[in-house]
Amino acid sequence: MSSVKKATPGLTTGEQLNFLLTNRLPRLWLTLFMGWFSRIESPALTRLSIAIWQCFCDDLRLQDAKNPRFKSLQECFTRQLKPGLRPLDNRLGTVSSPCDAIVGACGRIQDNRLFQAKGFPYTLEQLIPDTRLAARYQNGQFVTLRLKSSMYHRFHAPVDCQVRRVNYVSGDTWNVNPIALKKVEKLFCKNERAVLELEFGHPDYSLTLVPVAAILVASMKFHFLAEPLDLKYRGANVIPCNAMLRKGQEMGYFQHGSTILVFASEQYQLCPGIVEGQPVRMGEALLSGHPLPALPLHDSSRSEEPTTTLDV
């Protein structure tokens, strides 16, 4: 039986059309084409493409870019921001948002079940292939962070942490917007994704990020891995690394909009204002209840300018 609903009550004609255009077309070939097209280095073609893009998107803030001149669409998608535009909430006990996003489904995990949309449950084990790791989030918290195509596409460490491995799960490239989430069962479990356990010296506390790729994206670049993870990747699924990261330090980027799922053990609580539909910026408070620092990190691990901190 197909997992795609043929009709969904409550969706407008425009939303249904959006779903058809982005998910009934050949997703694999469209994503590969977009990857090729976005790498073409032509300032004139890039300006034209951005102008067309802005006709459908009124919240693309390119004036915030560190370098507003782009040779390709990929440079635009993966743009860096001017220093100081994302102050970091550096209060003890606070986990910051790893990215700019719209908050999607969030809240307490019911034993090992959570919902991507009303009536569409999935289990932790279906999303996280490591059963040991998945078990740490029973009755914990989760937050879905959706990066719109117009948003800043880079993501950052939400706490001081160490990443020892990346578990890459190949999969489909469904759109991850709210329309698709209402129509495709267990969508996040179907799409290409990576699982990153964040270690910080407290075995009773746990945080994991799951970046999920999507149509027109299917490319995740982590600064501590040699290769990007995309539809052409043919390496090992479990990739060892040894990345020491300060809170706010850049981890990598998507090459378009996408989603990051944040999982936290049961000791954590959602911060005030973290509710479905609310915009959040990288560095703002996402979760509270993080333990005092226990993992020594060295400044030599840093590869970019320090992130502005916000002590209150």
List active site positions: 100, 156, 258
**Rounded distance, CA 180 to CA 30, Å?**
17
Using CA atoms, how far residue 81 sits from 54, 75, 133, 139, 256, in Å, is: 19, 12, 34, 36, 15
Beta bridge partners of 143: 106, 262
Cα distance between residue 145 and residue 261, in whole Å: 6
User: How many Cβ atoms sit within 10 Å of the Cβ of residue 232?
Assistant: 11
In this structure, are residues 174 and 190 in contact, taking their beta carbons and an 8 Å threshold? yes
Residue 303: both structure tokens together: 């590869």
Any bridge partners for residue 113, and if so which? 110, 123
CA end-to-end distance (rounded Å), the chain: 53
Strands (E), the chain: 88-89, 94-96, 101-108, 113-117, 120-123, 141-147, 154-156, 161-169, 193-198, 207-212, 219-222, 229-230, 238-245, 250-254, 258-264, 269-270, 279-280, 285-288, 309-310
**What is the DSSP annotation of 225-268?**
SSS-EETT--S-SEEEEEEEE-TT-EEEEESS-EEEEEEE-TT-
Of the candidates 136, 183, 161, which has an alpha carbon nearest to the alpha carbon of residue 18? 183
DSSP structural state of residue 271: P
Count CB-CB contacts under 10 A for residue 142: 22
